[in-house]
Amino acid sequence: MSTPPLLAGLKVIDLTRNLPGPYATQWLADMGAQVTKVEPPAGDEARMLPPLFAGVNRGKAELRLDFRQEADKRKLLDLVAEADVLVEGFRPGVLADMGLGWPVLQACNAKLVLCSITGYGQDSPWAHRAGHDLNFMAMSGALDQMRTADGDIPMSNVQWGDLAGGTLTALVGLLAALLDAQRNGRGRHVDVSMTHGVFAQLVTPLATGQLWKPQLGHRPGPREDMLNGALPCYALYRTADERFLAVGALEHRFWLRFCEAVGRREWADLHWHRGLLPHSHASKALRVEVATLLAGRPLAHWADLFETVDACVTPVLTMDEAIGHPLFVQRASLREVDSGTGQRVQALELPVRFLDSR
């Protein structure tokens, strides 16, 4: 299904590099915006990884400018005069030092929306510090929430700080500012801190931490919170072939179906909706029983069993398995693009579908 050009006519200047900003403007381009990617003379560092560069920069016009040269700054301001949005990822103050700060850009185009994506925000105590996704995750407290039962913290290969904290937060902010500019004729400077963007995702642990802290004497740690393993009905379980099964039977009706499917109807009322407290001896004992049962068969057995049982139980797929699964094949979730090196590579499609009711 092709994406309708809902943002046709929108002109975007992208000064960002690597991942958070380019992916945000890629989504704008996928929805029809005209994006001009402006790189320094040496180019975007992401070009060293052609599949990554192609995946977040396809379909953009490309231009290289050296802002140390007055002629090139003038070229940028000429683009700004006709643009709707400018996205940048420099540290706070760098644009201003080059003579391209917000007052200059706003004077050039009063309706311009400037979106600045940084690690720690324009005015925080850490505004001028360098950082990467791992640092943003670490400082937000989100990384610690991933701590395993043995105390280790896994290194995620998905850049949640860059993407949830940066890309998606920036899209929300700049689209809201664009709507306001269309209504009121005045642009805004949108300040996106990736660390604060990740911090804003801590909705559940903030709430449940306040719920369980009086009982535990501390905020819940590994396997102590409702959604990180304390509930037997909502956990990851190892299978006989060292794979994992995701049991997400959070509501009692799904837990009942799970129990019936695995032949343990006697577990049906051992659920938090039926009074089983997450940190009780009975809850911990049940988790061991469930783990023992599921460890007795390979993942394929459980995946086949729950294929027709609506119990919120799914296999943990590898990336290759996900790519080949009908769930993603049917919605054409990948496309092939030119990597810029003469090779065709896979890139992700916009995940949003705009359904026409006509």
CB atoms within 10 A of CB 189: 17
Choosing from 162, 225, 310, 356, which is the catalytic residue? 162
Tell me the two tokens of residue 277: 């407290």
Please classify residue 48 by burial: count the beta carbons closer than 10 Å to its beta carbon, then call 0-12 exposed, 13-18 middle and 19+ buried.
exposed
Residue 313 near residue 249, CB atoms below 8 Å: yes
pLDDT at 169: 98
Distance CA 164, CA 306 (A): 31
Token pair recorded at residue 130:
């360098």
pLDDT of residue 358 exceeding 70, the answer is no
For residue 105, give the DSSP letter. Answer: H
Q: Which residues contact 128 (CB under 8 A, 6 or more apart)?
A: 91, 92, 93
Query: Mean pLDDT across the stretch 84-113?
Result: 97
Q: What domains are defined for the chain?
A: 11-199 (3.40.50.10540), 232-316 (3.30.1540.10)
Instruction: Compute the Cα dihedral for 44, 50, 54, 55 and give only its sign.
Output: negative
Give the tens place of pLDDT for each residue, 15-68: 999 999 999 999 999 999 999 999 999 999 999 999 999 999 999 999 999 999
Looking at the chain, how many residues does it have?
A: 358
- Mean pLDDT score across all residues of the chain: 95
Of 9-13, 68-72, 123-127, 217-221, give the lowest mean pLDDT range.
217-221
pLDDT score at 74: 97
**pLDDT category of residue 93 using cuts at 50, 70 and 90:** very high
Predicted local confidence at residue 279, as pLDDT = 86
Q: Identify the CA nearest to 55 among candidates 335, 321, 330.
A: 335
Predicted TM-score (pTM) of this structure: 0.94
Lowest mean pLDDT among 168-182, 188-202, 228-242, 344-358: 344-358
Asked which of 29-33, 213-217, 233-237, 319-323 is least confident by mean pLDDT, the reply is 213-217
Q: In which residue are the tokens 């791992």 written?
A: 134
Residue 14 falls in the annotated catalytic set = no
pLDDT for res 356 = 80
Residue 283 Cα distances to 11, 20, 269, angstroms: 56, 41, 11
pLDDT category at 1 given cuts 50, 70, 90 is low
Per-residue confidence (pLDDT) for residue 349, from 0 to 100: 95
The DSSP secondary structure of 51-65, one letter per residue, reads HHHHHHHTT-EEEE-
pLDDT at 357: 52
Over 90: is that where the pLDDT of 223 sits? no
The tokens for 129 are 């510090």
Rounded to the nearest 5 percent, the helix, strand and coil shares of the chain are 45, 15, 40
Q: From CA 252, how far away is CA 208, in angstroms rounded?
A: 19
pLDDT digits (tens, 9 = 90+) for 131-147: 999 999 999 999 999 99
Q: Which two tokens stand for residue 216?
A: 């535990």
